[in-house]
């Protein structure tokens, strides 16, 4: 069967209100309407424009086709035309939150003084490369390290640098606040920083974090916009 674009949809995250708890899993009751004013970010007030403002939103891309949507990649097709702000993005799993530690990831984990973290459950949809993971049994999020990649079966995480916190097996793990992660601005699906979002079976979803930074004392812009796109490469 062919993939129908009408069955590739965007949804809000479960906690949509701004603040530390923003994020979490997908909310399939809150579809995001395309090309609608303030469908992602709200209006920038004059006080925010003068002082500067940084906000985050977590949205989910969901495949509702019967066939899998494979090799999904995401990028910023058009950044904001305003000169005083811009957006950047990061892949998001179903657990991460804006300014608070995530809920515990599924299964138990083995942390070593290396870049390899092993887990007993498939966590490939719960966390994504770029998010930061830590041993929540023994450590705080100060020990968190960025995820560089996740194996196809979701059982092996490769970190961007060796874990320097408490090591051992049968540990719980959480994700550190997304506000401490590095966001990127890929401009094409083939860009080196394009988000590698994996493959989505029917009714599976994957998150994308969006960061909007408004520079202080800028001129502002009426009807500001940006466009994100996803595509499949397999």
| Tens digit of each residue's pLDDT (9 = 90 or more) over 23-74 | 999 999 999 988 788 899 999 999 999 999 999 999 999 999 999 999 999 9
In a domain, 102, yes or no: no
201 in the same domain as 147: no
| DSSP H or E segment with residue 43 | none
Place of tokens 């494979």: 70
71 in the same domain as 121: no
Q: What's the pLDDT score for residue 176?
A: 98
84 in the same domain as 14: yes
8 A C-beta contact, residue 171 and residue 135: yes
pLDDT in tens, 150-190: 999 999 999 999 999 999 999 999 999 999 999 999 999 99
Residue 234 has pLDDT above 90, yes or no: no
Which residues are within 8 A (CB) of 26 and not within 5 positions of it... i.e. 6 or more apart?
11, 12, 13, 14, 60, 62, 94, 205, 207
91 in the same domain as 15: yes
Output the pTM of the full model: 0.96
199 in the same domain as 144: no
User: Can you give the residue range of the structural domain that contains 198?
Assistant: 7-32+46-96+180-232
In a domain, 1, yes or no: no
Place of tokens 């860009």: 191
In a domain, 2, yes or no: no
91 in the same domain as 16: yes
In a domain, 62, yes or no: yes
């Amino acid at each position: 069967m062919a993939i129908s674009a009408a069955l590739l949809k965007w949804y809000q995250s479960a906690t949509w209100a701004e603040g530390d708890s923003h994020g979490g899993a997908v909310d399939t009751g809150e579809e995001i309407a395309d090309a609608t004013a303030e469908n992602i970010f709200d209006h920038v007030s004059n006080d925010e424009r003068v002082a500067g403002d940084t906000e985050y939103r977590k949205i989910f891309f969901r495949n509702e086709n019967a066939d899998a949507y494979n090799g999904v990649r995401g990028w910023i097709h058009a950044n904001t035309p305003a000169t005083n702000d811009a957006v950047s993005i990061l892949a998001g799993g179903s657990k991460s939150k804006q300014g608070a530690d995530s809920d515990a990831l599924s299964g138990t984990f083995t942390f070593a003084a290396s870049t390899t973290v092993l887990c007993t459950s498939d966590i490939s949809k719960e966390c994504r490369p770029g998010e930061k993971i830590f041993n929540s049994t023994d450590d705080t999020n100060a020990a968190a390290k960025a995820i560089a990649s996740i194996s196809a079966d979701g059982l092996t995480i490769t970190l961007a640098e060796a874990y320097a916190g408490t090591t051992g097996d049968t540990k719980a793990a959480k994700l550190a606040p997304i506000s401490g992660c590095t966001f990127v601005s890929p401009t094409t699906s083939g860009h080196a920083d394009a988000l590698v979002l994996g493959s989505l079976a029917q009714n599976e979803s994957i998150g994308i974090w969006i960061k909007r930074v408004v520079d202080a004392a800028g001129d502002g812009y009426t009807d500001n916009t940006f466009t994100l796109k996803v595509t499949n490469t397999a």
